[in-house]
Amino acid sequence: MREIKISETEAGQRLTKLLEKYMEAAPKSFFYKMLRKKNITLNDKKAEGNERLAPGDSVKLYLSEETLLKFQRVEADGEKVPVKAVKKEKTDLQVLYENKHILVINKPAGMLSQKARPEDVSLIEHITEYLLDEGELTKEQLTYFRPGICNRLDRNTSGIIVAGKTLEGLQKMGELFRERTMDKYYYCVVKGQVEKKQRIEGWLTKNHSHNKVTISQKKTEGAEYIKTEYEPLKWDEDFTLLKVKLITGRSHQIRAHLESIGHPIVGDGKYGDIYVNKYFKKTYQLKHQLLHAGELHMPELLGTFEELSGRVFLAPLPDYFEEIIKGEF
| Residue 218 CA to its chain's centroid (Å) | 36
Known catalytic membership, residue 154:
yes
Q: For residues 3 and 16, give the distance between their C-alpha atoms in angstroms, rounded to a whole number.
A: 15
Q: For residues 281 and 268, give the distance between their C-alpha atoms in angstroms, rounded to a whole number.
A: 11
| Closest by CA position to 200, among listed 159, 179, 233, 231 | 231
Q: Which of 57, 77, 133, 154 is catalytic?
A: 154
Q: Contact 302/181 with Cβ under 8 angstroms?
A: no
Q: For residues 91 and 15, give the distance between their C-alpha atoms in angstroms, rounded to a whole number.
A: 33
Q: Which ranges constitute the DSSP H helices of 75-199?
A: 123-133, 167-178
Whole-number Cα distances in Å, 204 to 130, 201, 249, 329: 37, 10, 11, 32
- For every residue of 284-313, DSSP letters joined together read H---S--EEEEEEE-----GGGGGGTT-EE
- Residues in the chain, total: 329
Q: Contact 205/222 with Cβ under 8 angstroms?
A: yes
Q: For residues 302 and 172, give the distance between their C-alpha atoms in angstroms, rounded to a whole number.
A: 12
Q: How, if at all, do strands 239-246 and 183-191 pair?
A: antiparallel
Q: At what angle do helices 274-284 and 319-328 cross, to 10 degrees?
A: 110
Q: Contact 183/189 with Cβ under 8 angstroms?
A: no
**Which residues are catalytically annotated?**
154
